[in-house]
């Protein structure tokens, strides 16, 4: 899926649609990628997360068809697909197709009535970088289908269908954070989302002197699906054991560090470590929200480093490249906080960097990294942006 989205904007996606399907699109939609400031691997544990949609997105141009088939064109890959089968089946050849078919297949399971679709898309969300290009694809495709066929879905319906597509069709047991951020994002804000109740709150992200810098390790997270699902099972194993003592515990959200420590001997060491990380990380999200409200960037940065250390040592989803990058940030005075972001085993670090030092930081990081890993780091400054929207 490398370079699956290189660069695209609404005009281009619209003219691309016209040249491929010989018609003007009925709709053009922008679906953004996301960052997560803090709260990693907490969403599927009923915990708290603090993501934002960003100003990197996938643009879709779409139109109805007269039959019930789906024709897709991935502009940046120059790949076509047209569905032949009813029901929709998993495609081994084109991984990207499954993100689209998955949501449509789930929508059919719910008895939603819709016909076929022509869809061209492309964008600038770097792939495999942990910015959730997949959630942008899933949520964007469902948004388009809803708009064209008047399905009457709420934002939450779209979010849930996108998550189900990924869980049931693609086979990645992800939580709800990525889709939620892509759909619900608001410019200039991060979203404090309670993944148990789905209550959410926008918190202004005001840091005029700092930039949010994503540094892509270039390591593709091939392990992520299997290890991610394993982490989920390990957390569930911890919950199942604690439940024997406290039947009211439904997820790690209901567990305190004291309670967990009291039962350390009943859990396998790896399961204990995973659970402890999650319980502490949920608490860190609350602390980060306070720090944001009080404009206490130092504290926010400290929490980010703590998250990284937890992901590395207790949750064991980091890798040498990401650790190298975070360690380089730690000794740079211009960087207030840094950590790996997303599922792990590669992808990006997220860094809070003083504006005037962004260039120097990214250049020296890249040079050091190339010396050690013989690989380049691509860096991006991103801003919290609006969620999915129709583009004029």
Site residues for ligand GLA per CB under 6 A: 40-41, 43-44, 132, 174-175, 177-178, 342-343
Tell me if residue 178 is catalytic. yes
- Least distance from ligand GLA to the Cβ atom of residue 180, Å: 9
> Strands 70-74 and 117-123, how do they pair?
parallel
- Least distance from ligand GLA to the Cβ atom of residue 43, Å: 5
Residue closer to ligand GLA, measured from CB, 178 or 321: 178
Q: Name residue 36's beta-bridge partners.
A: 51
106-110 long-range contacts, CB within 8 A, separation 24+: 106/161, 106/164, 106/165, 106/168, 106/169, 107/142, 107/145, 107/151, 107/161, 110/161
- Least distance from ligand GLA to the Cβ atom of residue 39, Å: 7
- Least distance from ligand GLA to the Cβ atom of residue 348, Å: 11
Residue closer to ligand GLA, measured from CB, 25 or 342: 342
Class of residue 248 by CB neighbours under 10 A (exposed 0-12, middle 13-18, buried 19+): exposed
What's the rounded Cα separation, in Å, for the pair 189 and 290? 14
What's the rounded Cα separation, in Å, for the pair 237 and 239? 5
Q: Return all residues near 171 (Cβ < 8 A) that are at least 6 apart.
A: 225
Q: How many residues does the chain have?
A: 392
Handedness of CA 350, 355, 359, 365 (dihedral sign): negative
Q: Which of 43, 76, 146, 178 is catalytic?
A: 178
- Least distance from ligand GLA to the Cβ atom of residue 196, Å: 14
Residue closer to ligand GLA, measured from CB, 182 or 351: 182
Residue closer to ligand GLA, measured from CB, 165 or 342: 342
Residue closer to ligand GLA, measured from CB, 38 or 62: 38
What's the rounded Cα separation, in Å, for the pair 109 and 106? 5
How many other CB atoms sit within 10 Å of the CB of residue 199?
A: 9
Residues with a known catalytic role: 178
């Amino acid at each position: 899926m490398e370079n699956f989205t290189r660069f695209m904007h609404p005009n281009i996606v619209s003219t691309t649609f016209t040249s491929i399907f010989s018609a003007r699109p009925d709709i053009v939609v922008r679906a953004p990628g996301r960052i997560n400031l803090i709260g990693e691997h907490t969403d599927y544990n009923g915990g708290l997360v603090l993501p934002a949609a960003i100003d990197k997105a996938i643009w879709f141009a779409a139109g109805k068809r007269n039959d019930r088939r789906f024709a897709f064109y991935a502009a940046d890959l120059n790949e076509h697909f047209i569905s032949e089968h009813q029901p929709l089946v998993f495609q081994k050849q084109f991984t990207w197709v499954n993100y689209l078919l998955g949501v449509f297949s789930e929508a059919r399971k719910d008895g939603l009535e819709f016909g076929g679709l022509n869809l061209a898309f492309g964008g600038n969300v770097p792939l495999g970088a942990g910015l959730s290009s997949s959630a942008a694809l899933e949520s964007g495709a469902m948004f388009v289908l809803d708009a064209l066929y008047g399905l009457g879905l709420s934002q939450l319906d779209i979010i849930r269908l996108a998550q189900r597509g990924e869980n049931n069709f693609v086979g990645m047991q992800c939580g709800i954070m990525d889709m939620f951020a892509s759909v619900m994002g608001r410019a200039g804000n991060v979203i404090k989302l309670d993944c148990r109740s789905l209550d959410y709150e926008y918190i202004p992200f005001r840091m005029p002197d700092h930039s949010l810098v994503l540094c892509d390790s270039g390591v593709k997270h091939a392990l992520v699906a299997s290890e991610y699902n394993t982490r989920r099972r390990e957390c569930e194993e911890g919950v199942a054991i604690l439940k024997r003592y406290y039947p009211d515990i439904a997820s790690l959200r209901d567990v305190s560090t004291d309670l967990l420590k009291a039962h350390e001997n009943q859990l396998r060491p790896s399961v204990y470590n995973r659970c402890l990380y999650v319980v502490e990380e949920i608490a860190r999200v609350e602390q980060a929200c306070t720090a944001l409200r009080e404009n206490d960037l130092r504290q926010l940065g400290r929490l980010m480093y703590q998250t990284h250390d937890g992901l590395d040592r207790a949750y064991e989803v980091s890798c040498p490249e990401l650790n190298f990058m975070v360690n380089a940030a730690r000794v740079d005075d211009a960087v207030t906080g840094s950590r790996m972001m997303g599922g792990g085993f590669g992808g990006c670090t997220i860094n809070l960097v003083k504006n005037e030092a962004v260039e120097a930081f990214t250049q020296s990081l890249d040079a050091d990294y190339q010396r050690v890993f013989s690989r380049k780091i691509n860096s991006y400054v991103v801003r919290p942006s609006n969620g999915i929207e129709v583009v004029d």
